[in-house]
Amino acid sequence: MTTTFADSATQTQMQHRALGLSDEHALEMYWNMLLARRLDERMWILHRQHQVAFHISGIGHEAAQVGAAFALKKGHDWAHPYYRDMALVLTLGVTPRELMLALFGKQGEISSGARQMPAHFSHRALNIVTGSSPVATQIPQAAGIAFAIKYKRTDQVVLTCFGEGSTAEGDFHEGLNWASIHKLPVVFLCENNQYAISVPTTKQMAVPNVADRALAYGIPGIIADGNDVLDTYRVVRDAVERARRGEGATLVEAKTYRPVPHSSDDDDRTYRSREEVEEWKRKDPILRMRQYLESVKLLNEAKAQEYDARAKQVVDDAEQFARNAPLPRPEFALENVWGELSKA
């Protein structure tokens, strides 16, 4: 009989088991968070080396995204992500090679054939819908998908994600209003990282929580600890189950923090202190999950190093694959856009 780390654990409360997650699920959550972080870090390096033109990061959001992804039925439910959701789409099945192809703008990129900027995630087979660059446009679109699901009487659910800055846009209010009126099977996940580019939350809204806004639409507004993957999973899972039962939409606010600039073209030193950033780095969601897994004897130093080495191999492979891929044909930019150009 094989003895696992968990077998030798003390009577420490295993939060993941109480949520119905196996030990393998808990480790898979950690792996997806770690892999997303290592991919993200490599993408920053590639930008700083002028190998790629632009990168927008999801560092710090891994717990919120992986927890939410675990609440969905992969390839069955729908996801309408926003530009920071690399950990979400990675957990739903998009591969590191596909993500690197998008970063380099190479042929074979799955979202648009490399005609969009990176981070416009989509995958037809996985029911992941690409977003537009203007923020919050995915919110009413997700409500529309949910309306179609209800019309077709399937048991699918839509998850759409956005930052707290998006909740000041008209699209947010229209999407929630529509979903509320028709009791649509959609979960609105706000990943509140406390800054809409350079504007802090206190200057974006006059209420303390995004979740408070749900009251105006007659739907539940629930706050999750966005730096705790298990807590985010619990809250989104409950919202998904509620939607699947036909009880309508839920607004979930995952409170987290963005410890890196808004994008590769931003200098966050102009609008927040280094002390604030360092304080939040000590609350890092991956560090927190690792400490939890160590406390329940599912992870130790040797196994953690093994995970890190494997993540580096996967990232190396993805980068090399994208570097070796050809660029799209120039004329491809004119294909599948509207119609055929006249040859006259």
Q: Which residues are catalytic?
A: 258, 262, 271
Contact at 8 Å (CB) between 19 and 83?
Answer: no
Rounded-to-integer distance, Cα 129 and Cα 149, Å: 15
Residue keyed to tokens 């792996």: 31
To the nearest 10 degrees (0 to 180), the angle between helices 62-70 and 23-48 is 140
Give residues with Cβ within 8 angstroms of 172, minimum separation 6. Answer: 136, 139, 162, 166
Q: Are strands 186-192 and 195-196 parallel, antiparallel or unpaired?
A: unpaired
**Contact, 63 vs 256, CB < 8 A?**
yes
Radius of gyration of the chain (CA): 20
Report d(CA 303, CA 259) in Å as an integer.
26
Q: In this structure, what are the phi and psi dihedrals at residue 169, rounded to the nearest 5 degrees?
A: -90, 150
